[in-house]
Amino acid sequence: MKIKKGEIEHIAVLARLYLSEEEKDLFGSQLSSILGYMENLNKLDTEDIEPASHVLSLHNVMRDDIPALSLPGAEALMNAPSSTEKFYRVPKIIE
């Protein structure tokens, strides 16, 4: 399983990662070997097994619609790299 360079570049764009040419080669071969290893799973016979999205046999874990306390505004903004008194501040996202 060899990942093409174009695929690595596409994945990097989606993940907002800026990779050097050396990194593209390095991560490309690493990802290829990880995915190659996963290929082993295809050797298993899964003919009679239902596809699963979850390993737990749980369903319907829900809560009632009752309000709980929220964080104070200042505390919510505390970890943000940039903020004003009331808002998160980010580089302008429209022209």
Partner 1 sequence: MKYEPVIGLEVHAQMLTETKIFCGCSTKFGSEPNTQTCPVCIGMPGVLPVLNKKALEFAVRTGLATGCTISLYSRFARKNYFYPDLPKGYQISQYELPICEHGRISIIVDGTVREIGITRIHMEEDAGKNIHEDRGNFSFIDLNRAGVPLMEIVSEPDLRSPREAVEYMKKLRAVLRYLGVCDGNMEEGSLRCDANVSVRPSGQKEFGVKVEIKNINSFRFVEKALDYEIRRQIKVLGDGGKIIQETRLWDSGMGVTESMRGKEEAHDYRYFPEPDLVPMVVDKKWTDEIRASLPELPDVKQARFVSGYGLPEFDADLLVSEKAMADWFEAAVKAGGKPNSVSNWMKGELVRLLNEENKSFDDCPLAPEQLAGMLKLIDNGTISGKIAKTVFDEIYKTGKEAEVVVKEKGLVQISDSDEIEKAVDDVIAKSPGEFERFKAGEEKLAGFFVGQVMKLTKGKANPRIVNELLKKKLSS
Residue numbers at the binding site for partner 1 (CB under 8 A): 10, 13-14, 16, 53-54, 56, 58-73, 76-77, 84, 86-95
Question: What minimum distance in Å lies between the beta carbon of 90 and partner 1?
Answer: 4
Question: What minimum distance in Å lies between the beta carbon of 22 and partner 1?
Answer: 25
H/E stretch holding 23 reads helix 21-38
CA distance 54 to 61: 13
What's the residue count for the chain? 95
Count the Cβ atoms, other than its own, within 10 Å of residue 89: 10
Token pair listed for 63:
């809560």
Question: What minimum distance in Å lies between the beta carbon of 51 and partner 1?
Answer: 10
Choice between 44 and 62, CB closer to partner 1: 62
Choice between 1 and 17, CB closer to partner 1: 17
